[in-house]
Structure 1
Amino acid sequence: MRRLRFSPRSSFARTLLLIVTLLFASLVTTYLVVLNFAILPSLQQF
């Protein structure tokens, strides 16, 4: 496991972590918005 030993102090790792975090946050936000506006109104009609 010595290959995976890279410090978060390097700017590349920090940028990669930031990009992954932003992607995950936008994915969750998109999922919640779609759930709120697409699925819930159709469920309330029945």
Structure 2
Amino acid sequence: MKTHLEEQVGRKMDEEDILHEIKRFEYFQNVVAKYMEVYIKERNAFQERYI
């Protein structure tokens, strides 16, 4: 069973590949967390104004 990255690169994943994937995942998590933070602030401001 090959992983997605192994299929892309055509070789076994080494430590560098794994670290790169972890960094990509952490970046994505940070983007989502930032978006949720802004969304919650906006929602709270909206609720204070109209409720």
Tell me the TM-score normalized by structure 2: 0.67
Q: In structure 1, what is the equivalent of residue 19 of structure 2?
A: 15
Alpha-carbon distance, 1:5 to partner: 1.1
CA distance in 2, matches of 1:3, 1:24: 20
- What do you get for the CA RMSD once the two structures are aligned? 1.8
Structure 1 gap ranges (5+): none
Structure 1 outlier segments of 4+, above 4 Å: none
Structure 1 or 2: more helix by fraction: 2
